[in-house]
Structure 1
Amino acid sequence: MLDTMRKIVKTGIVTEKWNESAVPPRFRGGVLVKTEACSGCGNCTQLCPVGAIAMVSGRPVINNKLCIFCGRCQQGCHQGALYHGSDFKLAEKREVMETGGILRKKISQLLGRSLAIRHVDVGSCNACDWEMAALGNPLYDLSQYGINFVASPRHADMLMVTGMVTRNLTQALLKTYEATPAPKLVVAVGSCATGGKTFGKSYAVRGSVDALVPVDVYIPGCPPRPQALIHGLLMAVNRL
């Protein structure tokens, strides 16, 4: 017991501020474009396996929700115009109409200082799930924000959905969504959930999460880092 106490005192506080954590050199953030180097050849649109790149006014535009961060566009660009940045703050909110904005304000008032999350895996490779699990360790300490995971959707304010929706788990997603009391939020986590094109067209998959249930926040990444997840969660409850 005394040895444990000594170790705790010696170690000190290990929790980091989510927006100040160091990003490793190998991390792949969103794809950025050096406009001065781009020749407008459009080769990158052919290289992208999920169609996340479109040419607009002769320049590539990347859809982060579709991107699987594979790096093919960067490797295949002979001009070096495309590269992966280091920014993990890629979460996006769904655009809502005025009535939706009013509802969002009410949700923020109800959930602003606390949040109960139910995780739903609808067909992931578990990479995103492992990143979510890391949120509970002392380094990120998600509970310091009043955010916790719960065992039942009936106790949840939010659903965090990982994976591209598979045929066999479609009913599970719909029933979990229906079981979650209103007002509720839905967050799509990872490229499979946000884009739904990782495995192309198949009888076994339904696609992205928003093809079945309304999504409030998209957190792209393959997988998104824990800091990116925290950024998306705080964005969902208007705490940024």
Structure 2
Amino acid sequence: MDVDNAASESPVTGNGVIDIEQSFLQQFSCMGTTDRDELIQQLQKLLGTQLNYSTAAFFLDMNNWNLQAAVCSYFDYENPNPLPQMKLVADPFANENESVEPNVRFKKTWHVSNSGNETWPTNCYAQCSDGHNLGGDRVPLPCLNPGEGFQLSVELEGPSVPGIYQSKWRLCTSKGSYFGDPMWVIVTVVEEGTIALTNQLSHFNELGALPPTSNAYNPFSPHQIHIGNNQDVAPPDGQKDSSMF
């Protein structure tokens, strides 16, 4: 092995030190797959159908067929302006729909706000970005001013097969770029009639509970005397309650 020739052809830093780490990282980043058609399809899937085959091939070739670098280059080219900012303020109904029955419609709500310094652009929307979409459609977003917030709600439906389902939702610009915090929906689909049976059993438990004890004052009791501070005391032995006569 010609060490001197290998060293002379390797990239160097400003101080003349061989930058071996950067070279190896670039090589290993391209080792996921060598099928260029598959890389093009993956890039199209990540960036959306608006990216045609030749454009995807151009960005991949420009970045030595590194998928991650091609995605970054595309966004740098297509989105010179910074993306909008969004913060998930609260998930107020996180436990409201822990269990749903198959094919039953329900609503999921998040409280979000514009945490940036610019008004949200027009035609932004929320959509399912990963997991099971639970029958949810895109939800258009208002053009929130900086610091403003609103309740984002999506109409969903429990799948027909019982099980645990996760759905990840993101805000998106009109060009298909995700921004802001991710939002999650996690539901458990149970057998039909299970929720109604659970509610009935809970009601039966309430019916079987003992009634609350009460120490209410009885003004007609011959063994109690009512005094000014609303306290009840028994009369002394051998003394009658004059209020009864």
TM-score of the superposition, structure 2-length normalised?
Answer: 0.22
Larger Cα Rg: Structure 1 or Structure 2?
Answer: 2
The structure whose residues are more often strand, as a share, is: 2
TM-score (norm 1): 0.22
Structure with the larger helix share: 1
